[in-house]
Amino acid sequence: MPKTRFRQKDIAPLVTTYRLAKTFRGNTILRRLSGTADIYFRYKEGIDKVEPNQDIKEQLDAILKSIDRLERQRKRLSDGAQAAFRRAVSGFEVDVFTSATTEKTNADDPVQRVPLRHNLSFYKIDMGDGSHTIIRFDDQLIDEALFSLRTYFEVAKNEVRPRSPGRRQSESLRMGIINLASIWRDYRKDPFSVTYVKGEPKSEAARFCVDAMKLIDPTIPKSRVISEMRGYAREAKKRKSQEPGTTISVILDVQ
């Protein structure tokens, strides 16, 4: 992301070509275009880089399979392995009871986390009458923890919406078009009309968006800018959410 977006001379052709000079006041349009570029790159380097939903589902599914495998392996442990596991758990239970009698609970925080060996811990809860209770991981809680972990990942996987067919939408380009359309209406006081002929922008508003996006990010193909403009005009017309006195004209697709 470049630190300096534009200079006056960079936007001068845009101002002249699209007759923005009459309403041009100082650095106003320069700030508007720079702000549009800032938002565009912020989205491009943030939201647009989030991996596709299918990849997310695959990652969550891999965790679920690992939990399944772990549960199966635990059930197949030999008697000797089970005994070794229980001895380890019992050893930490002794540490818990020892620490519970020596650690003092913070009066301002009735729930205190007490560290154990190997980065384990337990929670000591002051009951308010000079007594306390403790929460620690034992055999039963380990099983419940695995069950909870499985449930959380299953819910996460089920809530990932399937990706819609076609090209993945670019939030950065969508935000860029929204801001450029606003600039056009503010400076030209004209409807944001999206017309094109055989993939070439025809209306002044459409040409302005293509030229402005080329200034902001030369790597964006013209076809994607036009496609996003069509989507913007279609959605704006559908919602009828434009401000009073502004109009989103019907898209004209001339072959």
Task: Give 32-41 pLDDT, tens digit per residue.
Answer: 888 899 999 9
Coil, helix or strand at residue 122: strand
Task: Give 57-112 pLDDT, tens digit per residue.
Answer: 889 999 999 999 998 998 899 999 999 988 888 888 888 878 877 776 666 677 88
With a CB cutoff of 8 Å and minimum separation 6, the contacts of 12 are none
Task: Give 100-156 pLDDT, tens digit per residue.
Answer: 777 766 666 778 878 788 878 877 887 777 777 877 777 777 788 888 999 999 998
pTM: 0.52
Strands 252-254 and 195-197: parallel
Long-range contacts of 52-61 (CB under 8 A, 24+ apart): 52/163, 52/168, 53/160, 53/161, 53/162, 53/163, 54/162, 54/163, 56/160, 57/157, 57/160, 60/153, 60/156, 60/157, 60/160, 61/157
Average pLDDT of 221-228? 90
CB-neighbour burial class of residue 213 (10 A; exposed 0-12, middle 13-18, buried 19+)? buried
Provide the pLDDT for residue 36.
92
Q: Look-up: residue for tokens 């811990």?
A: 121
| Domain locations in the chain as residue ranges | 8-50+168-254, 53-159
Task: Give 22-31 pLDDT, tens digit per residue.
Answer: 555 556 888 8
Whether 233 and 226 have beta carbons less than 8 Å apart is answered as no
Whose CA is closest to 41, among 227, 222, 179? 179
pLDDT bucket at 4, cuts 50 / 70 / 90 = low
Higher pLDDT, 34 or 191: 34
Whose CA is closest to 198, among 175, 220, 223? 223
How far is residue 204's CA from residue 194's CA, in Å, rounded to a whole number? 8
CA 114 to chain centre: 35
Instruction: Give percent of the chain with pLDDT exceeding 90.
Output: 22
pLDDT at 240 over 70: no
CB-neighbour burial class of residue 80 (10 A; exposed 0-12, middle 13-18, buried 19+)? exposed
Helix count and strand count (H, E) for the chain: 8, 6
